[in-house]
Amino acid sequence: MPFIEDNITKPDWRQREAATYAFGSILEGPSPEKLTPIVNVALNFMLIALTKDPNNHVKDTTAWTLGRIFEFMHGSTVETPVITHENCQQILTVLLQSMKDVPNVAEKACGALYFLAQGYEDSGSVSPLSPFFQDIVQALLTVTHREDAGESRLRTAAYETLNEVVRCSTEETAPTVMQLVPVIMMELHQTLEAQKLSSDEREKQNELQGLLCGCLQGFYPYLEMGLQNSEEYQVCSITVGVVGDLCRALEDKILPFCDGIMTHLLKDLSSNQLHRSVKPPIFSCFGDIALAIGENFEKYLMYAMPMLRSAADLSAHAQTADDEMLEYTNQLRNGILEAYSGIFQGFKNSPKTQLLMPYAPHILQFLDSLYNEKDMDDAVMKTAIGVLGDLADTLGTNAGPLINQSVSSKEFLEECLSSDDLLIKESAEWAKIAISRAISS
């Protein structure tokens, strides 16, 4: 301690830096009780040094030392906490400000925030960080977009910290966390889209994808909470939409989460409490999942297909007395058809396509009855003719005889081919090619 006290305010930056480093180094070892009085005095000094010291090396080491204070002197197990409600705001203000500093200082500031968040992991339903959650998240996302974020591991540190902040957050901040999901999705999507990279850039990109997928791991409990929330149906509906987005962005990387997601979706569909408006997006989500994980959807067929079948039977012959009911019925039909489409496309070119054969007669029957009812809207018409094409494309010659017997493959196809709606026409032209391949050989 005498060495630290003598040198920490010296004019020569090397002496200040050495003293700060020495202080950071002694924090691991002695009991927190012994260190608390010293750290209480030092903390304020460190926060001032991090913003005011003219030397970047000193600021770098100061931010590192703050991280050590938060790692060893902060958390539910520490009897006399160094961080209180009173100084928490000041600490955060300094850290968020330092994230705008040069990359090496900003990277250490992210590291300090990482341990600050971790210390509140067991804080129950209320965390002192909750009021600042939005600012923290925004500051970290801003760091990831800095032009110099590739230096000093800065971008990596920012995402690691974001991940930890989300992981240690409380239910109070759940709405903000859910808003973050689409942002992370966009980032992930951009890294997946980036082509023509050098091997060095490719390595960085892989690391970034890993971090983003890690972030999503932090979000997963919130997805589960949303899917289980059948009382607040808007929350449930938005969450189902987020799952669809995740499937499109992550593709087969979503696989580890699928057991949980499918369990909740199937539970929701069986619930009497669930608002009917959530059912079409859930069926549609089955299609997104199947498209993302391909033949791995096999284990869910025995649960999903009977539910799709009974919903299809109901929606084909619904009593659509008024416009509102007809609109809902068409949304339901569309969701069911999107599920079938995703499942057929997911299994295409897989040795397991035969698993879908037993379901083909009923699906064709569903398409026929939709055509005979004459009350589907353009969106359903386009998806329905698309499903006919997907069925023919995936099952091929095996489904040839079945397709030949269906009304859909003749009258319905002809009606769609002569439609004024370009999208319906395009779908029908593609279906026609798939059907002729399945029937001819």
pLDDT in tens, 337-389: 999 999 999 999 999 999 999 999 999 999 999 999 888 999 999 999 999 99
Q: Out of 274, 300, 327, pick the residue that ends a domain.
A: 274
Residue 299 domain flag = no
| Helix residue ranges, H only, 27-102 | 32-52, 56-72, 85-98
Assign residue 119 the CATH number of its domain: 1.25.10.10
User: Do the Cβ atoms of 87 and 42 come closer than 8 Å?
Assistant: no
Quick one: pLDDT at residue 378?
Answer: 95
Quick one: pLDDT at residue 385?
Answer: 97
Distance CA 70, CA 39 (A): 10
Apex CA 194: angle with CA 191 and CA 196, to 5°? 145
Q: Are residues 27 and 112 in the same domain?
A: yes
Q: Are residues 327 and 394 in the same domain?
A: yes
Apex CA 191: angle with CA 190 and CA 197, to 5°? 120
How far from the centroid of its chain's Cα atoms is residue 269's Cα?
22
Q: Are residues 137 and 183 in the same domain?
A: no
Distance CA 97, CA 130 (A): 18
Q: Out of 135, 169, 203, pick the residue that ends a domain.
A: 169
Distance CA 407, CA 161 (A): 58
Which tops the pLDDT comparison, 325 or 289? 289
Q: What is the SS3 assignment for 386?
A: helix
- pLDDT confidence tier of residue 196, bands split at 50, 70 and 90: low
Q: Are residues 270 and 344 in the same domain?
A: no
Residue 91 domain flag = yes
Residue 305 domain flag = no
Q: Are residues 397 and 432 in the same domain?
A: yes
Q: Are residues 76 and 205 in the same domain?
A: no
Distances (CA, A) of 360 to 320, 402, 411: 26, 8, 19
Per-chain mean pLDDT for the chain: 90
Q: Note the pLDDT tens digit of each residue in 41-73.
A: 899 999 999 999 999 999 999 999 999 999 999
| Helix residue ranges, H only, 271-411 | 279-293, 298-316, 323-347, 360-373, 378-395, 400-405
Q: Note the pLDDT tens digit of each residue in 106-165.
A: 999 999 999 999 999 887 778 899 999 999 999 999 999 999 988 999 999 999 999 899
Radius of gyration of the chain (CA): 29
Quick one: pLDDT at residue 101?
Answer: 97
Q: Are residues 53 and 178 in the same domain?
A: no
- pLDDT confidence tier of residue 194, bands split at 50, 70 and 90: low
Apex CA 225: angle with CA 221 and CA 231, to 5°? 175
Residue 184 has pLDDT above 80, yes or no: no
Contacts 24+ apart (CB under 8 A), 317-325: 317/369, 317/373, 320/375
DSSP string, 199-267: HHHHHHHHHHHHHHHHHHHHHHHHHHHHHH--SSHHHHHHHHHHHHHHHHHHGGGGHHHHHHHHHHHHH
Residue 192 has pLDDT above 70, yes or no: no
Q: Are residues 265 and 127 in the same domain?
A: no
Distance CA 21, CA 303 (A): 60
Side-chain-side CA neighbours of residue 117 (13 Å): 25
Residue 198 has pLDDT above 80, yes or no: no
Which tops the pLDDT comparison, 293 or 180? 293
Residue 287 domain flag = no
CB neighbour list of residue 121: distance below 8 Å, 6 or more residues apart? 75, 76, 167, 168
- Total tally of structural domains belonging to the chain: 3
Side-chain-side CA neighbours of residue 143 (13 Å): 35
φ, ψ at 352 (rounded to 5°):
-95, 10
Quick one: pLDDT at residue 264?
Answer: 96
- Please count the residues of the chain: 441
- pLDDT confidence tier of residue 441, bands split at 50, 70 and 90: low
Q: What is the enclosing helix (H) or strand (E) of 136?
A: helix 133-144
Q: What is the SS3 assignment for 124?
A: coil
Ranking 18-22, 109-113, 161-165, 283-287 by mean pLDDT, the lowest is 161-165
| Helices and strands per DSSP (H, E), number in the chain | 20, 0
User: In terms of residue numbers, what domain contains 328?
Assistant: 311-441
Distance CA 422, CA 427 (A): 9
Residue 420 domain flag = yes
The model's pTM is 0.77
The tokens for 318 are 């619904």
Residue 319 domain flag = yes
The CA-to-CA distance between both ends of the chain, in Å, stands at: 87
Quick one: pLDDT at residue 251?
Answer: 85
Ranking 143-152, 195-204, 241-250, 348-357 by mean pLDDT, the lowest is 195-204
Quick one: pLDDT at residue 46?
Answer: 94
Kindly state the average pLDDT of the residues 212-226: 80
Q: Are residues 159 and 207 in the same domain?
A: no
Distance CA 116, CA 71 (A): 7
Distances (CA, A) of 292 to 177, 246, 343, 399: 24, 9, 10, 24
Distances (CA, A) of 141 to 74, 107, 157, 159, 279: 25, 13, 11, 8, 34
Q: Are residues 230 and 264 in the same domain?
A: yes
The tokens for 292 are 């993302």
Which of 59, 42, 48 shows the shortest CA–CA distance to 100?
59
Residue 295 domain flag = no
Q: Are residues 149 and 18 in the same domain?
A: yes
Q: Are residues 94 and 229 in the same domain?
A: no
CB neighbour list of residue 145: distance below 8 Å, 6 or more residues apart? none
Q: Out of 169, 188, 215, pick the residue that ends a domain.
A: 169
